Amino acid sequence: MSGPLAIALGGLTEVGFWSGVGVLAGIYTLLALGLQINVGFTGILNFGQAGFMAIGAYAMAILVIDFRVPFLLAVLGAIAVAVAFAMVIGMSSLRLRADYFSIATLAAAEAVRMFAQNAQGVTGGNQGLYGFDRAWADASRQIQDWLSAIGIGDANGLLPLLLVVWLVALVAIVALRFLQRSPWGRVLRAIREDEDAARSLGKNALRFRLQSLAIAATLGALSGVFLALNLSFVNPQAFEPQASFIGFAVLILGGLASYGGVAFGAIIMWTLLEATRFVDLPLSDTQIASLRFVLVGALLIGLMAFRPQGVFGKRQEMVLGD
Amino acid sequence: METASLTGRRVARPSVRGRLPRASRPALVTAGAVAAAGLALIATHGLHDVAQTALNGVSFGAVVALGAVGLTLVYGILKLVNFAHGDFLTFGAYMAFVANVSLGLPIVLATVLAMAATAVLGLAFERTMWGPMRERGAGMLQLMLMSIGAAFVIRYTIQFFAGTEVRTLGVDRTSVVEVLGLRIGQTALIAGATGIVVVAAIGLLLRLAALGKRMRAVSDNLSLAETTGVDTRRVIVATWLFAGAAAGLAGVLFAATANVKPELGFELLLPIFAAVVLGGVGHAFGALVAGLLLGVATEWSTLVIPSQWKLTIGFVILIVVLIVRPQGIFGQGRAT
Amino acid sequence: MTDASRPMLEVRDVACSFGGLRAVDGATLTVEEGSITALIGPNGAGKTTLFNVVTGFCPCEGGSVRLAGQEIARWAPHRIARLGMVRTFQLTKALSAMPVIDNMLLAAPDQPGERLANVVLRPRAVHARERAVRDQARELLAAFRLERHADEYAGTLSGGQRKLLELARALMARPRLLLLDEPLAGVNPSLGLELLQHMQRLRTQEGITFLFIEHDMEAVMNHADLVVVMAEGRVILSGPPRAVAADDRVIDAYLGGKHVPLEEIA
């Protein structure tokens, strides 16, 4: 193939490309699973997942670097901080109308990012933090050795992270499906469709919503931890609201009310986004980066206009309209 | 007002009010709080500093108010939470840049062209997106996500063509004017005054002009307004013209006092939302008062905390308002 | 049956504003345990708002509401429901995006599975209760002749069937007092009669107290022990059906002054 629109297909066959896509897709699967339980199954419009992501990444990094907490414990600590933050937001904002709640969550996420940017002593400001992944690097090498022992080589060392991220994502999907089928999940769906009906039958809507938000915070924090491991450092730019909305694009792509669909959406989304690297046009790097976001925006618009239930969503379960 | 639920967790729609704010309790409480804060600051930092920062704040706040009035009109009349509104400001700033710096036109003409271009942008989105979706009965989440998609498209298309570098408009950024012993940049003064005048004019129009009355009717109840013969299409067009032009102007004014960059609008979006919520959705005068309040609060905060934190004041105010009184100072009804 | 003179619901001087209007303006009424009471009155009298107030959906401004002696004014709706006062809505709230059986299962009280911790830590207890509730639900659906629709989405039911579902679902919640808001509206007469017969049966067999809002005067006359009349936010009179029917005040409230015997309207 030749010509200005040729895509360098060679790039698409590199293992490095796919493992890169895979890691990002796994991270965003976790992020969007949190959105799924909020938006798809509880009916709360959480626009602040990037904030939980940031809390997860920063809390973990600060615990490891400043407090010398062992890595796994630091991850648990990060999740605890994210859940606590979710409780604060939830208690104060979940009683609000849906659109006000979405603005509140967006503001809260931006507040987290601004804190990360300005509290230089704690968060390193725009420079960010690094040096928290030594334990992971060791574990990663160990996993790589196991893989090599069974014959799987690796071009750029991303395979261990890829495996761990997807392991966690799959466990999350299974757990969420299990929760969804439980009586707890049933109440959640009832609240999503008609909160007053649920209340009139004795269900405390606020408590269920808080729990849903806490689960989203946990998943967001986990995705943040993995993003931090992927980048080997954390800085505020990695947690801009764009992340929340790419999460939404992933969510809608896979379909509301489908946990498995989220994984599908994430893979498609990141394949598309990373594939823009290979468009053989005379574009600068900034322009390609800009193109990616235009793509995300166009995708959001297109999906909302033509297929709001996404690929796997069921039309009759769709309670998107207010 | 429609209610979809009974617990007061209404999905009642906010409506547009052009009336001058009555001496209601929230307004008095807010005025009291501002006065108290001001007095406390004067006691600790002296009148000059407080007045100087207040003046800076009014200038900044007027621009925020200008950005907010467009958003509040669209939110109140068309029930659309337009997350792309910040990027309308960015668009206006860049259009002015093209006209003024690239084409060499005088700044006033460039501003008018920028306002017109942004108004056209708003109308274009209405024609291609909002109108059809409204007819299809699209739900709130659908519209919000679409507006976010639009925000991405606008901002990153601009960035695609213009790059990420920070630029400046060809305006005088150094002359300083003395007002009552306080100093303010000449451009900042013009920006502030323009913002206040334009938003007040919009507020008066909503209250007094026939078009304003029609806009308020549509904001209360679209289908009812239609059946009583209000030409809703004209109202919708007028709303987007005002919103787009105000946003474009706000973008130009902000760029004139600061700089032109792709994130311009998004960085202002949350202060603008704060002003919309604080003032009461759909309230033009509310947006003015709230914008000025926010500007002054933001600048006053620099007397107390390091200046890099000053934009967080907007957040604090937004979150406090949402917790204490989500319908804002002048909003009616309940918002829980 | 327990002491028939013990009041199940006592409402004293309760008020509530709604959309700027004082929709309920000092209403007082008493519902005896095990009785079937009808609440009637012209449109806009505040009947549904009264329901909203006593069930916690509308903030109560002053006055007191007692359920079996327990003061519940200003309680949250879900707490009141758990105490045994369950209500239905004027516009049926059958959860259309959920299957009929899920609607029923939702309403059952004391489900350990509704606590997140239990779902993870006590799966056997959750499962056992779920099975018991499912059996109960099917029995109840059978009593209302809805069992063959159990796995269909509630949205596919007809209007009358949805009313029956709402009643069946409310019963799953083990209510002591059931508030029905226009249970016969939009329902065909034979289904309506069925509903009223269920009501009588449930009162006799289970001792459930009923308070229902209705415009269908025949239903009111033939099935209510007591009739309470509201107008302009207040209770203007209450008494046995025949007595209320003949009272001028009721006729005035409905017709604004023209005297036409109620029997001729019913």
In 3-state terms chain C splits into helix, strand, coil percentages (rounded to 5) of: 45, 25, 35
> Rounded to a whole number, what is the distance in Å from the CA of A316 to chain B's nearest CA?
14
3 state SS of B142: helix
Q: What is the ipTM of this complex?
A: 0.88
For C52, name the nearest residue in chain B, comparing CA atoms only. Answer: B6
Tell me B304's DSSP state: T
Phi, psi of B69 (to 5 degrees): -65, -40
pTM: 0.89
Over 70: is that where the pLDDT of B336 sits?
A: no
- Tens-place pLDDT, residues C49-93: 999 999 999 888 888 999 998 999 889 999 999 999 999 998 888
d(CA C57, CA A195): 11
- Taking CA–CA distances from A305, the nearest residue in chain B reads B133
Evaluate whether A129 touches A123 at the Cβ level (below 8 Å): yes
* C-beta atoms of C81 and A197 within 8 A: no
What residues of chain A lie within 8 A of the CB of C57, using their CB? 196, 199-200
Higher-confidence position of B2 and B268: B268
Q: C156: Cβ–Cβ under 8 A, 6 or more apart, which residues? A: C149
Contacts of A198 in chain C (CB under 8 A): 78, 106
Is C3's pLDDT higher than 60?
no
Q: Distance between alpha carbon B190 and the CA centroid of its chain, in Å?
A: 18
| B231 DSSP assignment | -
Helix or strand run (H / E) with residue B275: helix B264-279
Neighbours of chain C (3+ CB pairs under 8 A): A, B
Q: Are strands C36-40 and C209-213 parallel, antiparallel or unpaired?
A: parallel
pLDDT of residue A288: 86
The pLDDT of residue A281 is 73
DSSP B20: P
Residue B143 CA to its chain's centroid (Å): 20
Structure-model confidence comparison of residues B246 and A96, the more confident one: B246
On whether any CB of chain A is under 8 Å from the CB of C126, the answer is yes
Binary contact (A294, B152; C-beta < 8 A): yes
Residues of B with Cβ-Cβ distance to C77 under 8 angstroms: 7
CATH class of A9-317: mainly alpha
CATH architecture designation of domain B25-35+45-324: Orthogonal Bundle (1.10)
Chain C neighbors of A216, CB-CB under 8 A = none
Selecting from B11, B142, B318 the residue whose C-beta is nearest the C-beta of A320 gives B142
Chain A: residues touching C (Cβ < 8 Å): 178-179, 182-184, 186-187, 189-190, 193-194, 196-205, 211, 316-317, 319
Residues in Cβ contact with C96 at an 8 Å cutoff, skipping those fewer than 6 apart: A193, C153, C154, C155
Query: Stretch B218-242: mean pLDDT, rounded?
Result: 83
Q: In chain A, which residues have pLDDT < 50?
A: 1-7, 319-322
pLDDT at C256: 59
In sequence order, which residues have a C-beta less than 8 Å from that of residue B207 and are 6 or more positions away?
B18, B19, B20
**Cβ atoms B49, B183 nearer than 8 A:** no
pLDDT top residue among B101 and A51: A51
Confirm if B157 and A290 have CB atoms less than 8 A apart.
yes
B223 lies within 8 A of chain A by CB: no
Nearest CA in chain C to A185: C114
8 Å CB contact of A103 and B322: yes
Nearest residue in chain B measured CA to CA from A300 = B149
State residue C263's pLDDT score: 56
Taking the C-alpha atoms of residue A211 and residue A218, their distance in angstroms, rounded to an integer, is 10
B326 interface with A at CB cutoff 8 Å: yes
* B chain contacts of residue A191, beta-carbon cutoff 8 Å: none
Residues forming a β-bridge with C99: C153
Q: Does B135 contact A at CB distance below 8 Å?
A: no
Tell me if B146 and A100 make a contact (CB, 8 A cut-off). no
Instruction: List the alpha helices (DSSP H) in B126-172.
Output: 131-135, 140-162
Strands (E), C69-185: 70-71, 85-87, 177-181
Comparing A280-289, B106-115, C85-94, C171-180, the range with the smallest average pLDDT is A280-289
Q: Which chains touch B (3 or more CB pairs under 8 A)?
A: A, C
Contacts of B7 in chain C (CB under 8 A): 56-58, 77
SS (H, E, C) chain A: CCCCCCECHHHHCCHHHHHHHHHHHHHHHHHHHHHHHHHHCCCCCCCCHHHHHHHHHHHHHHHHHHHCCCHHHHHHHHHHHHHHHHHHHHHHHCCCCHHHHHHHHHHHHHHHHHHHHHCHHHHCHHHCEECCCHHHHHHHHHHHHHHHHCCCCCCCCCHHHHHHHHHHHHHHHHHHHHHHHCHHHHHHHHHHHCHHHHHHCCCCHHHHHHHHHHHHHHHHHHHHHHHHHHHCEECHHHHCHHHHHHHHHHHHHHCCCCHHHHHHHHHHHHHHHHHHHHECCCCCHHHHHHHHHHHHHHHHHHHHHHCCCCCCCCHHHCCCCC
Q: What CATH architecture does domain C7-94+159-265 belong to? A: 3-Layer(aba) Sandwich (3.40)
C242 touches A: beta carbon within 8 Å: no
- The single-letter DSSP state of residue C179 is E
Q: How far is B178 from chain A (nearest CA, A)?
A: 33
Query: What H or E segment, with its residue span, contains residue C49?
Result: helix C47-54
Instruction: Tell me the per-residue pLDDT of B7-31, one tens digit each, with 9 for 90 and over.
Output: 433 344 455 555 444 557 888 888 8
pLDDT of residue A112: 93
Q: Which residues contact B6 (CB under 8 A, 6 or more apart)?
A: A196, C52, C57, C58
Token pair of A44 as six digits: 């709360």
3-state secondary structure of B260: strand
The whole-number pLDDT of residue A276 equals: 79
Distance CA A200, CA C180 (A): 12
The nearest alpha carbon in chain A to B154 belongs to A294
Measured between beta carbons, which residues in chain C are less than 8 angstroms from residue B1? 19
- Provide the 10 A C-beta neighbour count for residue B227: 8
B319 touching A, CB under 8 A? Answer: yes
Shortest distance between the Cα of C228 and any Cα of chain B, in A, equals: 23
Give the best residue of B1, B7, B327 to mutate against chain C (max C CB count within 10 A). Answer: B7
Q: Domain map of chain C by residue range?
A: 7-94+159-265, 95-156
**C→B interface, C-beta within 8 Å:** 19, 52, 56-59, 77
> Taking CB atoms and an 8 Å limit, are B7 and C77 in contact across chains?
yes
Residue B194: pLDDT over 60: yes
